[in-house]
Structure 1
Amino acid sequence: MRTPKTILVVGTFDTKRDELEFIQDLIVREGGQVLSMDVSVLGDTDMPVAISKHEVAIAAGVTIADVIAAGDENDAMALMSQGAQALAVKLCAEGRIDGMISLGGTMGTDLALDVALALPLGLPKYIISTVAFSPLIPAERLAADVQMILWAGGLYGLNAICRSALSQAAGAVLGAARTATGFASDRPLIGVSSLGNACLKYMKRLKPALEARGYEVAFFHAQGMGGRALESLASQGHLVAVFDLCLQEFNNGIHGSIVNSGPERLERVGLAGVPQIVAPGAADLVDLPTWQPIPAHFQGRPYHVHNKLITSLTLTPDERRFTAREMAARLNKSIGPTHVILPLAGIEEWDREGEIGHDPESLAIFFAELRAYLKSPVEWTETAAHINDAEFVDAVLKVFDGWVETGLVQPGRCDGEVRRAQHGVMASAG
């Protein structure tokens, strides 16, 4: 028999009672269980809920009367958000929930985004929203593994269109809770940032080399949410080391592109004390949406149209100086081992001779600025290679192997060790 999964259902049960009841009934009908949390402020619901709005307010250190007395709907919902986050985290830590689902317009979505961010990666989290996929929601508000479903036709009351969206969401969160594997691994896990093979190619050599050393390797697409997932996993203790070799999404953020991973990018791994090897892969480019007009201050420079979504533009020498200083400022905050590798021959495929980004003078300016601003205990070394050359990967592995040898990084597990560990688990289970 399959153990029933429990889904935390979060919402304003005073104004969205019918919709939330519809979701809960579907989850129960399909063999799941629900734990309801009411985050209403002014109104009351006649529907039984597991966690009342009064309990949510108390978890924030106030009463509902205090919330109402805040006098502003934003301040009031911010207090309810604090309580909802605290309770959701507690329920998760106690193993009482296997997934989370919420719905709302802008107010409900605002709170749901906070709750999703507070929950760990790997726990299924779904938000049904009238503003799903909207540019109103910046990258830093999104949990790296959150799923959003557009609440089409759902602003006021149930209807055929609304029920279609809600039923899909209910099935999705329950199905995800049943099939989620979590982060169990028989080998230590390393996270690596990169772009696709057209721009950066080190993964082809790096992945098998690390696997041969007994590690599992996960590559994160550095186009916004990839970096958020990488840094979230590292800060939550799931990664033994990070190879942050592509910084284009960080670069995008500091130069004003929407294709970014939030203002904390390049800080969280170091502040968590996780060993990191960093290289400025593609840090000479800024990505903009192909479907938007190029802003005036970016016009008149070489660019590469990657597809109908992304166009990459080169940076000026002054912009590269700024990038180097911002990189150094964040990396200098690291409390864990941090080593920066400078590939002097180039940092992405389009900066090779004959390509749109070839500008060795500006690249040299960028490296000079990095050298000037990186501070101890951050270490840095150079390689004469291009970032897509085999010698660059050799330089990365040399630093990493040194860390393993000195005990800064957990050693990998060979096949024999993995088999023995698996046998031990099976024997204990028997």
Structure 2
Amino acid sequence: MAVIALVGALDTKGAEYAFLADRVRAFGATPLLVDVGVLDVPALPARIGRDLIAELGGGSLAELRDRGDRNAAITVMARGAASALADLAASRDVDAVLAVGGSNAAYVMAEICARLPFGFPKVLVSTIAAGDTRAYVREADLTLIYPVVDINGLNRLSRPVLANAAQACVGMATSRYVDSDDGPPLVGVSMFGVTTDCGSAVVRGLGDRGFEALTFHCTGVGGRTLESLVRNGTIRGVADLTTTELADELAGGVCTAGPDRLTAAAEAGVPQVVSVGALDMVNFHDSVPPEFSGRLFHPHNPAVMLMRTTAAECAELGRRIAARLNPSTAPVAVLFPHRGLSQLSVPGGVFHDPVADEALYQALRDGLRPGIELHEFDTDINDPAVSAAAVDLLATWLEKETP
């Protein structure tokens, strides 16, 4: 029988977890309750109690209670739950994990997911599913379910949602698909809507050369996931042709991947081909900061507003790219398309700005250390010449490494 870990605060969410445990049993699996509550008396017993969870998190339950610091308590309990679930998953004593609740439950689940392997079933029922979930999803394959009503007792709306979550978890655990580890080397490819032609051509070309390409949508989470998979050794080479997340990092856009973007391959000694895809834009959602009044904007869709990067911003982006690539020990090449960084900045496009593009090019040329190849193209980034060069460079390097 599959074992489903039910992780939650059994003092404040006792009724909900009792219901989940009953539904897990009804669907033919075994519930394993993990208590991350701190203050009040648990409403039902747990297989893995809160004392052990606090200890695994580097604290003690008594100390957490005495301090009365909710933030400190959730930090310790989340760390302990993550440790417990990582051990249970590694020993195959648990087959899926399910949590329900608000932002605290989501934080605990985020810490747990960071320690669990890709493909391991992870389900969270939380009201945070209707908001900005990046801080909770991070780079995990986490399934989110919005409960419609708050997780605050059982009612005719919450019961069906919780039952569905339990059944989904049991279904994932009992019919889990496990892919073979045997296969061609994995290569990461970055892409955005305005660089799709380039990214798609690179994926096809790498496939023709015997590699399996993973495409990452550069929305912030995509870039962080790419970096994470490079660091843990999953990805053997990178075609990072869409580095647009760096522009959002610089200007405060919504698609930033943080300050570690474009650093993993250099640190891990992984070959990479890099370009400047969509560095002509910064992404915003509902509102644009007032300091950008008067800038050039273009609506990508009703939910996304794009802002054209200036020459000064492009120059800084060029310097940052060079600084992050220069420490590389593996082969590196930079591809620069002079006639457009995306679909929008080709001649005649709304973001066409040769001065800004030239500032980016000059900063790259001046900042890259000797030994890093800079390939120039009198085309835009989506021209087949760019993708063909990226495929040939990266595949040639990787073929030399493959026994």
TM over 0.5: yes
* Counterpart pick for 2:65 among 65, 68, 77: 68
Task: Name the CA distance, whole Å, in 1 between partners of 2:329 and 2:98.
Answer: 36
Question: Could you say which residue in structure 2 is the equivalent of 1:247?
Answer: 243
Question: Could you say which residue in structure 1 is the equivalent of 2:126?
Answer: 129
* Conserved 8 A contact 2:218-2:255: no
Check if 1:30 corresponds to 2:24: no
* Conserved 8 A contact 2:195-2:242: no
Aligned-partner SS, 1:201 = helix
Question: Could you say which residue in structure 2 is the equivalent of 1:299?
Answer: 293
Once the 2 structures are TM-superposed, how far is the Cα of residue 206 of structure 1 from its aligned partner? 2.1
1:267-293 Cα offsets, whole Å, 9 max, x none, are 33443443322211101111112xx23
Question: Are the structure 2 counterparts of residues 126 and 260 from structure 1 closer, same or farther at C-alpha, using a change threshold of 3 Å?
Answer: farther
* Conserved 8 A contact 2:239-2:394: no
* Conserved 8 A contact 1:140-1:263: no
Report the more deviating stretch, 44-53 or 358-367: 44-53
- What is the number of equivalent residue pairs in this alignment? 401
Check if 1:373 corresponds to 2:367: yes
Report the more deviating stretch, 333-342 or 237-246: 333-342
Report the more deviating stretch, 333-342 or 387-396: 333-342
Once the 2 structures are TM-superposed, how far is the Cα of residue 336 of structure 1 from its aligned partner? 4.8
- Aligned residue runs from structure 1 range 212-227, under 5 A: 212-227=208-223
Question: Could you say which residue in structure 2 is the equivalent of 1:267?
Answer: 263
Q: Percent identity?
A: 32
Question: Are the structure 2 counterparts of residues 335 and 47 from structure 1 closer, same or farther at C-alpha, using a change threshold of 3 Å?
Answer: farther
Q: Tell me the TM-score normalised to structure 1 length.
A: 0.85
* Counterpart pick for 1:95 among 92, 96, 99: 92
* Conserved 8 A contact 2:318-2:361: yes
The one-letter amino acid of 1:383's match is E
Task: Name the CA distance, whole Å, in 2 between partners of 1:140 and 1:277.
Answer: 30
Check if 1:320 corresponds to 2:314: yes
Question: Could you say which residue in structure 2 is the equivalent of 1:382?
Answer: 375
1:75-109 Cα offsets, whole Å, 9 max, x none, are 11111111111112222222222222112222222
- Aligned residue runs from structure 1 range 198-209, under 5 A: 198-209=194-205
Question: Could you say which residue in structure 1 is the equivalent of 2:191?
Answer: 194
Aligned-partner SS, 1:61 = coil
* Conserved 8 A contact 1:271-1:334: yes
Question: Are the structure 2 counterparts of residues 278 and 140 from structure 1 closer, same or farther at C-alpha, using a change threshold of 3 Å?
Answer: farther
Question: Could you say which residue in structure 1 is the equivalent of 2:78?
Answer: 81
Question: Could you say which residue in structure 2 is the equivalent of 1:350?
Answer: 344
Structure 2 spans left out of the alignment, 5+ residues: none
Check if 1:391 corresponds to 2:385: yes
Question: Could you say which residue in structure 1 is the equivalent of 2:18?
Answer: 21
Question: Could you say which residue in structure 1 is the equivalent of 2:138?
Answer: 142
* Counterpart pick for 1:162 among 136, 153, 158: 158
Once the 2 structures are TM-superposed, how far is the Cα of residue 309 of structure 1 from its aligned partner? 2.1
Task: Name the CA distance, whole Å, in 1 between partners of 2:75 and 2:329.
Answer: 32
Aligned-partner SS, 1:281 = coil
1:122-156 Cα offsets, whole Å, 9 max, x none, are 22212211322323x54476233222222332342
Task: Name the CA distance, whole Å, in 2 between partners of 1:150 and 1:277.
Answer: 40
The one-letter amino acid of 1:381's match is L
* Conserved 8 A contact 1:200-1:281: no
The one-letter amino acid of 1:271's match is E
* Conserved 8 A contact 1:221-1:227: yes
Task: Name the CA distance, whole Å, in 2 between partners of 1:34 and 1:270.
Answer: 44
Report the more deviating stretch, 137-146 or 39-48: 137-146
Report the more deviating stretch, 383-392 or 183-192: 183-192
Task: Name the CA distance, whole Å, in 2 between partners of 1:98 and 1:75.
Answer: 29
Question: Could you say which residue in structure 1 is the equivalent of 2:148?
Answer: 152
1:50-79 Cα offsets, whole Å, 9 max, x none, are 211111112123321122234311111111
Once the 2 structures are TM-superposed, how far is the Cα of residue 405 of structure 1 from its aligned partner? 4.2
The one-letter amino acid of 1:61's match is G
Question: Could you say which residue in structure 2 is the equivalent of 1:118?
Answer: 115
Task: Name the CA distance, whole Å, in 2 between partners of 1:231 and 1:183.
Answer: 22
* Counterpart pick for 1:52 among 49, 53, 62: 49
* Counterpart pick for 2:230 among 208, 231, 234: 234
* Counterpart pick for 2:177 among 174, 181, 184: 181
Q: Tell me the TM-score normalised to structure 2 length.
A: 0.90
Aligned-partner SS, 1:247 = coil
Question: Could you say which residue in structure 1 is the equivalent of 2:206?
Answer: 210
Question: Are the structure 2 counterparts of residues 139 and 182 from structure 1 closer, same or farther at C-alpha, using a change threshold of 3 Å?
Answer: farther
Question: Could you say which residue in structure 2 is the equivalent of 1:12?
Answer: 9
Task: Name the CA distance, whole Å, in 1 between partners of 2:110 and 2:223.
Answer: 18
* Conserved 8 A contact 2:189-2:203: no
Question: Are the structure 2 counterparts of residues 351 and 102 from structure 1 closer, same or farther at C-alpha, using a change threshold of 3 Å?
Answer: same
The one-letter amino acid of 2:245's match is E
Question: Could you say which residue in structure 2 is the equivalent of 1:424?
Answer: none
Once the 2 structures are TM-superposed, how far is the Cα of residue 183 of structure 1 from its aligned partner? 4.6
* Conserved 8 A contact 1:144-1:226: no
Task: Name the CA distance, whole Å, in 2 between partners of 1:126 and 1:140.
Answer: 12
Structure 1 spans left out of the alignment, 5+ residues: 412-430
* Conserved 8 A contact 1:139-1:260: no
1:164-197 Cα offsets, whole Å, 9 max, x none, are 221222222222334443453532222211123x
Question: Could you say which residue in structure 2 is the equivalent of 1:425?
Answer: none
CA RMSD of aligned residues (A): 2.4
Aligned-partner SS, 2:397 = helix
Question: Are the structure 2 counterparts of residues 251 and 67 from structure 1 closer, same or farther at C-alpha, using a change threshold of 3 Å?
Answer: same
Question: Are the structure 2 counterparts of residues 203 and 257 from structure 1 closer, same or farther at C-alpha, using a change threshold of 3 Å?
Answer: closer
